[in-house]
A and B are shown apart, each in its own frame.
Chain A
Amino acid sequence: MIELERLTKKYGAKTAVDGISATIKPGIITGFLGPNGAGKSTTMRMIVGLDRPTSGTALVNGNRYAATRAPLAEVGALLDAKAVDGGRSARNHLLALGATVGIGKRRVEDVLASVGLTDVAHRPAKSFSLGMGQRLGIAAALLAEPDVLLLDEPVNGLDIDGIQWIRELLGELAADGRTVLLSSHLMTEMQLVADHLIVIGQGRILADSSIQDFIEESGGGSAVVVVSPDAGLLAPLLAGDGVTLTTREPGRFEVRGRTAPEIGDIASGHSLRIHELTPTQASLETAYLQLTQDSVEYAGTTRKAA
């Protein structure tokens, strides 16, 4: 469990994290979502005491991190996969970190095997690809079986297999009763992994809710795109309480408030033709973008062709 209490960090005049209060619970995966520069990394750095809060507190399992007995066994953190001394082999890197809490060769070999780095563990870390570096970072985070895992953009640089692997891994860790906080600036990543979402923008919490609630609160849930030559007949049949229909083009409309099976059943009940019936999660991405729109720090600018 992580408890943040009006956590604030200022760098000179710049407020990176602005009075964040939240509780990150064990047993689920909490996604920490926000555009670049929102303050995710700074918050995570304060949790493990790398940055000193300007004010407020961050507690890990009820204690300040610096006061914990066996830090590596309390919190496993992957904050920057590149933060490794490139001249040292992966194995020796883990041995050195593990030694701080009395972990030795056996466990290091186990972890190397579980992240799939055994064959390259003798190689200097500087020869690692971004994906291998991420795996080494995850190995370090898992080394002492911590209760709490902090992963800052862990999916960056991983291929599809790697992403799948992280997703399974985090699921197991959460199911095991551990606290898992992972950050990302992409909703698409989060909706695949997280159970709970904390959205921040410009250092403030914009939303703190389960994925389900987030979807429901943000525009009536997921939509179903319907393509039908009988759209004109079908649409009135779908109408009802809490159902919205949006027509995009003739013969194609979007339904919120009804599931794809419901729509299919209604259509077949009236012998109406359906050519396409596609549930979309677009609303989640859209909701996120709308939520954070006002807080994007460096909005992209389109360069006009000369």
Chain B
Amino acid sequence: MTIALERPVSTHAQSLARGIHSEWIKVRTLRSTWIGLATVVVIMIGFGALAAAMATGSVTDPGGDGGPPFAGAGPLGTALSGANLAVLLVGVLGSLAGAREYGSRMITATVTTMPRRWQVIVAKSAALAAVMIPTAVIAVMGAYGVAMGILGANGNATVALTDDGVLSSLLGMVGYLVAVAVLGLCLGSLLRSVAGSIGTVVGGLLIVPALASALLPDSWDKVLQLLPSSAAASFTEVGMAGGSTLSAGAGAAVLIGWVVALMAGAVVAIHRRDV
């Protein structure tokens, strides 16, 4: 049997760029990545199309009173009806990206090949963002285009990309989706559990804001504005759970703060803990 090492291989210093390349190979060679991303696109465009059709009255809510249920949402809100669900799904995808190697123990190989461990978090985040950004653009712009097409064809009001605030809210939605994916990744890495991370994402984006605004006195509103979902509502202008009184810029800064804080936490944790 011929064995091993006939000719020397040329190796190079391990670097962050090579780490990102490695994580990029990992992301694109898992079928679940593509299934998950396709689902995000389908949900955004599908819900947008369905909501637009319902708003025109051509599809009615069988359980409702026959009136168009999305009439009050405005054309942009109608187009982005799938946003809440897509955000949760993206959080799940991020959680998988951050925690799945702890389930398979592949993380041991990852950390041995990248022993400067902060690079693991940064490289995984970069690789995830590399697929999340185009996906979110396709999903959000696709939902907008399809919904406006349906609304316009039926003589309903539409908004143009050049209208005030439309493009910025759509891009805001793209940014929110990408941010939630990275938040999920950092949580997944911190908690080392896909299920735990998904639970935290759902709880943090959906349950906590709803419960808190229902149960806490109004004096807490200022604090609740700092939840990721409320912060995002300031620049997506889609009724995310919570609602917002922050300016778009302040909301974006708060959300970025969350990403930076969780990423820093994930980096510290991966350095401190045994793998």
Q: Is the CB of A103 within 8 A of B112?
A: no
Number of A-B residue pairs with CB-CB distance less than 8 Å in the complex they form? 131
CB distance from A200 to the nearest CB of B (A): 20
Q: Is B104 an interface residue (CB 8 A)?
A: yes
Q: Is A96 an interface residue (CB 8 A)?
A: yes
Partner of A50, one of B13, B100, B111: B111
Q: Is A207 an interface residue (CB 8 A)?
A: no
Q: Is the CB of B3 within 8 A of A100?
A: no
Q: Is the CB of A73 within 8 A of B11?
A: yes
CB distance from B273 to the nearest CB of A (A): 8
Task: Output the nearest chain B residue to A87 by Cβ-Cβ distance.
Answer: B30
Q: Is the CB of A102 within 8 A of B3?
A: no
Q: Is the CB of A110 within 8 A of B6?
A: yes
Q: Is B116 an interface residue (CB 8 A)?
A: yes
Q: Tell me the bound Cα distance from A121 to B265 in angstroms.
A: 37
Q: Is B26 an interface residue (CB 8 A)?
A: yes
Q: Tell me the bound Cα distance from A85 to B23 in angstroms.
A: 13
Binary flags per residue of B1-45, CB closer than 8 Å to A gives 1, else 0: 111111111111110001101110110011110000000000000
Q: Is the CB of B3 within 8 A of A168?
A: yes
Q: Tell me the bound Cα distance from A145 to B10 in angstroms.
A: 9
Task: Output the nearest chain B residue to A96 by Cβ-Cβ distance.
Answer: B25
**How extensive is the interface on chain A, given as a class?**
35 or more
Partner of B115, one of A71, A83, A99, A103: A71
Given contacts A73-B11, A87-B30, contact A100 B105 (CB under 8 A): no
Q: Is the CB of A51 within 8 A of B275?
A: yes
Q: Tell me the bound Cα distance from A72 to B10 in angstroms.
A: 12
Q: Is A95 an interface residue (CB 8 A)?
A: yes
Spot the interface stretch: A169-177, A265-273, A293-301. Answer: A169-177
Q: Which of A66, A82, A102 has the most CB of B within 10 A?
A: A102
Binary flags per residue of A182-211, CB closer than 8 Å to B gives 1, else 0: 000000000000000000000000000000
Task: Output the nearest chain B residue to A79 by Cβ-Cβ distance.
Answer: B108
Chain A residues lying within 8 Å of B106, measured Cβ to Cβ, are 83-85
Q: Which of B11, B21, B25, B101 has the most CB of A within 10 A?
A: B11
Partner of B26, one of A96, A101, A144: A96
Partner of B5, one of A52, A79, A168, A176: A176
Q: Which of A79, A83, A144, A172 has the most CB of B within 10 A?
A: A83
Given contacts A114-B2, A114-B4, A176-B5, contact A102 B112 (CB under 8 A): no
Given contacts A52-B274, A101-B18, contact A95 B25 (CB under 8 A): yes
CB distance from B95 to the nearest CB of A (A): 15
CB distance from B130 to the nearest CB of A (A): 14
Partner of B14, one of A71, A145, A173: A71
Q: Is B256 an interface residue (CB 8 A)?
A: no
Q: Tell me the bound Cα distance from A65 to B115 in angstroms.
A: 8
Binary flags per residue of B209-246, CB closer than 8 Å to A gives 1, else 0: 00000000000000000000000000000000000000
Partner of B21, one of A99, A107, A165: A99
Q: Is A284 an interface residue (CB 8 A)?
A: no
Q: Tell me the bound Cα distance from A125 to B7 in angstroms.
A: 27
Q: Tell me the bound Cα distance from A166 to B4 in angstroms.
A: 11
Q: Is B154 an interface residue (CB 8 A)?
A: no
CB distance from A80 to the nearest CB of B (A): 6
Partner of B104, one of A72, A85, A102, A168: A85
Q: Is B114 an interface residue (CB 8 A)?
A: yes
Chain B residues lying within 8 Å of A239, measured Cβ to Cβ, are none
Given contacts A68-B115, A77-B112, A80-B105, contact A172 B11 (CB under 8 A): no
Q: Tell me the bound Cα distance from A165 to B2 in angstroms.
A: 10
Q: Closest 9 A-B residue pairs measured CB to CB?
A: A83-B105, A102-B12, A92-B29, A99-B22, A73-B11, A66-B115, A96-B25, A100-B113, A101-B11
B residues near A (Cβ < 8 Å) are 1-14, 18-19, 21-23, 25-26, 29-32, 100-101, 104-109, 111-116, 274-275
- 24 example contacts (A-B, Cβ-Cβ < 8 A) are as follows A49-B112, A50-B108, A50-B275, A52-B274, A65-B115, A72-B11, A83-B106, A84-B109, A85-B104, A87-B32, A92-B26, A96-B22, A96-B23, A97-B22, A97-B109, A99-B21, A100-B19, A100-B22, A101-B113, A102-B10, A114-B3, A145-B8, A168-B1, A176-B5
